[in-house]
Amino acid sequence: MKRVGIVGDGYTAAELLRLLLPMDEYDVTYISSADNIGTAVSALYPQFGDMTQLVCEPTATEAIISRCDGVFLALPHGQSMPLAAALIEAGLYCVDLGADFRLRDAGLYRSYYELEHTAPELLSTAVYGIPELYREQIAVARLIANPGCFPTSAIMPLVPLLAAGLIEHKGIIVDSKSGVSGAGRGMKETSHYCNVNEGVHPYGVGTHRHAPEIRQQLELAAAGSVQMVFTPHLIPMSRGILTTTYSYLADGANEGDARAALAQAYKGEYFVHLLPPGQWPHTRWVYASNHVQISLAQDKDSHILTAVCAIDNLCRGASAQAVQNMNLMLGIPERRGLELIGLYP
Amino acid sequence: MKRVGIVGDGYTAAELLRLLLPMDEYDVTYISSADNIGTAVSALYPQFGDMTQLVCEPTATEAIISRCDGVFLALPHGQSMPLAAALIEAGLYCVDLGADFRLRDAGLYRSYYELEHTAPELLSTAVYGIPELYREQIAVARLIANPGCFPTSAIMPLVPLLAAGLIEHKGIIVDSKSGVSGAGRGMKETSHYCNVNEGVHPYGVGTHRHAPEIRQQLELAAAGSVQMVFTPHLIPMSRGILTTTYSYLADGANEGDARAALAQAYKGEYFVHLLPPGQWPHTRWVYASNHVQISLAQDKDSHILTAVCAIDNLCRGASAQAVQNMNLMLGIPERRGLELIGLYP
Amino acid sequence: MKRVGIVGDGYTAAELLRLLLPMDEYDVTYISSADNIGTAVSALYPQFGDMTQLVCEPTATEAIISRCDGVFLALPHGQSMPLAAALIEAGLYCVDLGADFRLRDAGLYRSYYELEHTAPELLSTAVYGIPELYREQIAVARLIANPGCFPTSAIMPLVPLLAAGLIEHKGIIVDSKSGVSGAGRGMKETSHYCNVNEGVHPYGVGTHRHAPEIRQQLELAAAGSVQMVFTPHLIPMSRGILTTTYSYLADGANEGDARAALAQAYKGEYFVHLLPPGQWPHTRWVYASNHVQISLAQDKDSHILTAVCAIDNLCRGASAQAVQNMNLMLGIPERRGLELIGLYP
Amino acid sequence: MKRVGIVGDGYTAAELLRLLLPMDEYDVTYISSADNIGTAVSALYPQFGDMTQLVCEPTATEAIISRCDGVFLALPHGQSMPLAAALIEAGLYCVDLGADFRLRDAGLYRSYYELEHTAPELLSTAVYGIPELYREQIAVARLIANPGCFPTSAIMPLVPLLAAGLIEHKGIIVDSKSGVSGAGRGMKETSHYCNVNEGVHPYGVGTHRHAPEIRQQLELAAAGSVQMVFTPHLIPMSRGILTTTYSYLADGANEGDARAALAQAYKGEYFVHLLPPGQWPHTRWVYASNHVQISLAQDKDSHILTAVCAIDNLCRGASAQAVQNMNLMLGIPERRGLELIGLYP
């Protein structure tokens, strides 16, 4: 049994606990908080009842090192950088659910997050944690940059297509629809029930921090620059992301080639489901699970390819993927604890 | 006071009644139904209480002609064609909320609706009913093809841009997010609460009947062929459509030009609101109203223009626009009965 | 045309504007705010677009007096007391949508609101504003205590039954289910989308401030003390209250008597709908309107009477009832501006 | 590993599969359907993807007997009676999720379900399956009458109070609020998204079939007749039931006694959570889990006790409780497969 800690007490931390507490492989020995020090997890999140006795502690590097083999960092950007450096140094395994190690370019980080990166030396060793794409690197890593929710949903359908040279590098559109939990537990006007319910609107148009993260992974796959526009929309639901991508099939490529490339890329992958032609992803079918659905079609009058991906933003888009990464690093069977089936109805 | 009738008893019929009953300018003298003949409107739609004594009648051309000056046809496709011909012949004013007169090409109609058009001679006289774009023709028309909900939301931002030559004719993406009421009152698995709630999915990808309708209007504006991909998504709300369009700015054109073209096209229009840079449409702000919100931005790294439009699908996307058209045809002040402000919260 | 002002900028203020702006009888000349001074109403509530040029001002008694004939006070409790006294003194007509003048007993006010009442002399002149029950007093009043949303929904079915001596004064249960907008625009954990969506819970059990307000009106109708338990529940919707009441039919009374008493009490009332036996209120049917639905049934094995009432909490439960009251005070036809039909779907 | 079958393909069947498929203790060898014979479970419920190869078969007694040790009957009322008799006869263990074995009185069954009971001899041997109340009987049973969702939520707080003589047998009010999934997968007007969303209404007032089921269990606990009124309400959510009960404390009893009785009754029960004074159940905290939350308070001015219970209607109110019962009958550790924590957010 591995001892793990969670740094942070927001929605992704709660989702980690939901997944980890019933597992035999892990003993959650530590959780920390900025605002709720001394508060029992069960007081903060009554769904845990008497199923855990954990109490939020201050974030203390020494305590983490002495009590944990692995640690999940579920912190606002900027706060993981110094902590991860110390924990890695002490030999712990880290999965950072925040943004600090996702961008390889410290300059890009500074420009989007308005902060100087304080551990740039770790950027090259951090592995971007989509197991189906980077399993081997993850298995030998010490530090995982757990992907953002939108990036996961955009990268999974697009990376195999770019890697296979089947779509153009220009004119990629990523139109995402997300539930509200992605905005976190904090009180914001845009999370007020009356603002969300019965409405839909775009946000962060042209400025969302997940855009450079998506572009970076697409460019790695394309081995060249990629022109991509990303627009997220907030829709009235708690969980789920559906991402609709539009791209141009390369000369000579068609829908069948694209479908074959995805089938090949995700062959044998337990969590990834390429739906048959004519069937489209629905976030309900992957709700509260680590599963991913993908489908695609070519426009009958053009070379435009529509590829759609559905995930649960808190599970595959954050905490379940984090557990999958931790399992891989710690030598635990990859699927363990993640065999939850999409919740429907 | 003008005598008007409604043929049909679905959601758009109910929405027409909601708008028409409080108006002094109209006397609703007739409503017909296929399935609920003899049923009081108030039994079918208890929100009307004792505010109307209307009872659903069989659809009978003679009754309509003798009791109505104008008529709203709110029927499944295929059923308006013969009826409209007879009513126009008898001198009535018709607004068809269905699809029978929207496509100018009877062949295209046949191909998408799998029916032979029985009144092709009316296709050239029917006016496509977006008042802000076709006001003069509407004012002298006898037959209005009331636009589809998705087309309204796509055409209003794109037509002025195409007409001004500011965007390319190729590579236009129309990604729409709609509430459920657009699918109507009938029982369908996809309208079951448990299927819709907490989920999002695309549908009709590559096959939706609103695609040729959108393309037709874009091509008229562009005076040439247009390559456009349309993908609707069902999201968990009753009302509202948000349409996000992506297009390529023409050589030399920029965001400012696009904004100026829309400002010019909708100058002085009471119902159309071009939001300032950085503010984006939200369907809540036009909820249950005839208002339209539009905004746009150019991607900072490319010529891709994102233009977004929000409407209420049953109001501006159907019944309120129908009343606006009928007002225009019958010489009633255009805004009358439509001064409802977006319902929020 | 009457000049009216609104003091406050929360949801009930926005709802007042939605109702008042399209009316010919009123000119809204003033709106004030605590937190948004200098902000245009349309910036705060984009649904108003360019339909109003009002800008939030500081709350200033002199400004109100010089620019208004009537004023709506939409303030947190405690803030209306001093203001109302000055405005009444200056001859204005006031509708207080807050709680300051609802309880006739200043001691009860102190005990529930933890504040000393500063204008106790007004408590006896303020009229409790349910027009269907107190129309004559309202018509000659200067100060209306606009009822709370829950009280409106409980009083309307129960008062006629108590007044007619048809139900016992003991053992009255009031179980209410409310949408979230009743909690207002402020950021609270319990208004966070993720807390509300897909969940239901009771709140304020035994402590809610609407309990003494309900009890007071029931006791006035009963001309004696009443034992009543009130439990509100928060349910996942923006608008609407459904109140289910349970009471004991008095000896010799039956369901028919109860039905007859309600029919008599609301005979000819445009906004109140007593549904036939077997049909039950649905908040959708009164959504965003001033209408009220009531129905009832006697348990077949006992004398327990179940009476149910549906209203829209922001409309009939606040702003529309406030306009109805203002209409009455200012001699405007009572229904004017309120002929909105329940929004469905 | 025990071989189990599922008869039926509705929501509770899908929920059984969600729970059973990841379990090592069970092998689901059979599923049958009336309408979807030959259809793969994954086609009917895409959330199962390639996680099961089960295909819906016709309901055939012989097949069940030859391939199953235990069987879950998830059928409309009337259909389990003949099947259960044959399966019990053949030595299988049966959990009936339908209503056929819940009422001990065949006459009451006839009166509420309008059917003659065809296996009345089984009524006395069927055990009512709330494990925390009837664990010993369940462990030695062959046939479990799995409780209705509303009854579970009403019985769990009330039975210990009645058994301890702490509340009166008269004047018990059970006011329940349920999500839509309880109405099943079939297409009904009342399950249409637009009918449910943003609305609340009572239904089945005075006629709901769960009323005699609740009353029977209360009367068994009270060892005498009980007067109880049950009113269910449909609220806009997919899952969850909150039941608010009102009863009269017996002479000399108080809130502390009631709380102590519940604490005693559910002492050491993993799934049942008696919340501390002032904290109230929220269906979100038990969402998609087998957990139960209960709290209570006495009205400060009377002997009226308000006791509230939250469950997930498909889990504790149906399929998870069914698995708990099957575990008990088959000697599998009771909690196995049910350690899912309430899903929040």
As a whole number of angstroms, the distance between CA B191 and CA B237 comes to 11
Q: Which residues of chain A have pLDDT under 70?
A: none
Cβ pairs bridging A and C (under 8 Å): 52
As a whole number of angstroms, the distance between CA D93 and CA C97 comes to 62
Taking CA–CA distances from A289, the nearest residue in chain D reads D47
Contacts of A343 in chain D (CB under 8 A): 18, 47, 288, 343
Helix (H, G, I), strand (E, B) or coil at A133: helix
- Answer whether B201 sits within 8 Å of A246, measured CB to CB: no
- Answer whether C341 sits within 8 Å of B47, measured CB to CB: yes
Contacts of A196 in chain C (CB under 8 A): 193
Segment A212-225, tens digit of pLDDT? 999 999 999 999 99
As a whole number of angstroms, the distance between CA A196 and CA A191 comes to 6
Interface test with D, best of B12, B185, B192 (most D CBs within 10 A): B192
H helix and E strand count, chain D: 11, 13
As a whole number of angstroms, the distance between CA A257 and CA A259 comes to 5
> Quick one: CA torsion of D305, D306, D312, D313, rounded to 10 degrees?
80
Residue C149 a catalytic site member: yes
Residue C42: CA count within 13 A, CB half-sphere: 14
Q: What is the ipTM of this complex?
A: 0.97
D339: its two tokens: 């350690």
As a whole number of angstroms, the distance between CA D310 and CA C235 comes to 13
Using CB atoms, pick whichever of B238, B344, B345 lies closest to residue C345.
Answer: B238
Return the pLDDT at A329.
98
Segment A9-61, tens digit of pLDDT? 999 999 999 999 999 999 999 999 999 999 999 999 999 999 999 999 999 99
Using CB atoms, pick whichever of D229, D239, D280 lies closest to residue C299.
Answer: D229
The answer to whether the beta carbons of residues B113 and B209 sit under 8 Å apart is: yes
Q: In the complex, which subunits touch B with 3 or more CB pairs below 8 angstroms?
A: A, C, D
Helical H segments across A184-254, by residue range: 193-196, 210-222
- Answer whether B227 sits within 8 Å of A201, measured CB to CB: no
Residue D302: CA count within 13 A, CB half-sphere: 19
As a whole number of angstroms, the distance between CA D147 and CA D127 comes to 10
Per-residue pLDDT of chain D (345 residues; tens, 9 = 90+): 999 999 999 999 999 999 999 999 999 999 999 999 999 999 999 999 999 999 999 999 999 999 999 999 999 999 999 999 999 999 999 999 999 999 999 999 999 999 999 999 999 999 999 999 999 999 999 999 999 999 999 999 999 999 999 999 999 999 999 999 999 999 899 999 999 999 999 999 999 999 999 999 999 999 999 999 999 999 999 999 999 999 999 999 999 999 999 999 999 999 999 999 999 999 999 999 999 999 999 999 999 999 999 999 999 999 999 999 999 999 999 999 999 999 999
- Provide residues of A within 8 Å CB-CB of chain C: 11, 180-181, 185, 187-189, 191-198, 236-238
Taking CA–CA distances from D312, the nearest residue in chain C reads C199
Using CB atoms, pick whichever of D14, D279, D282 lies closest to residue A344.
Answer: D14
The answer to whether the beta carbons of residues D117 and D110 sit under 8 Å apart is: yes
The answer to whether the beta carbons of residues C172 and C218 sit under 8 Å apart is: yes
Contacts of D345 in chain C (CB under 8 A): 194-195, 197
Using CB atoms, pick whichever of C197, C203, C302 lies closest to residue D280.
Answer: C203
Give the end-to-end CA distance of chain A in Å, rounded to a whole number. 34
Cβ pairs bridging B and D (under 8 Å): 52
Helical H segments across D223-313, by residue range: 255-265
Contacts of C18 in chain A (CB under 8 A): none
Contacts of C189 in chain A (CB under 8 A): 187
The one catalytic residue in A56, A68, A94, A149 is: A149
The answer to whether the beta carbons of residues A31 and A6 sit under 8 Å apart is: yes
Using CB atoms, pick whichever of A48, A273, A344 lies closest to residue D341.
Answer: A48
Per-residue pLDDT of chain B (345 residues; tens, 9 = 90+): 999 999 999 999 999 999 999 999 999 999 999 999 999 999 999 999 999 999 999 999 999 999 999 999 999 999 999 999 999 999 999 999 999 999 999 999 999 999 999 999 999 999 999 999 999 999 999 999 999 999 999 999 999 999 999 999 999 999 999 999 999 999 899 999 999 999 999 999 999 999 999 999 999 999 999 999 999 999 999 999 999 999 999 999 999 999 999 999 999 999 999 999 999 999 999 999 999 999 999 999 999 999 999 999 999 999 999 999 999 999 999 999 999 999 999
Cβ pairs bridging C and D (under 8 Å): 157
Look at chain C and count its residues. Answer: 345
- Provide residues of B within 8 Å CB-CB of chain C: 11, 14, 17-18, 21-22, 45-51, 181, 185, 197-198, 238-239, 273, 275, 279, 282, 284-289, 291, 293, 314, 339-345
Contacts of A181 in chain C (CB under 8 A): 194
Interface test with D, best of A17, A23, A26, A47 (most D CBs within 10 A): A47
A162: its two tokens: 């770019």
As a whole number of angstroms, the distance between CA C92 and CA C69 comes to 5
Return the pLDDT at D242.
98
Interface test with D, best of B44, B193, B344 (most D CBs within 10 A): B193
Using CB atoms, pick whichever of D45, D238, D341 lies closest to residue A47.
Answer: D341
The one catalytic residue in D94, D149, D309, D315 is: D149
As a whole number of angstroms, the distance between CA A342 and CA B77 comes to 37
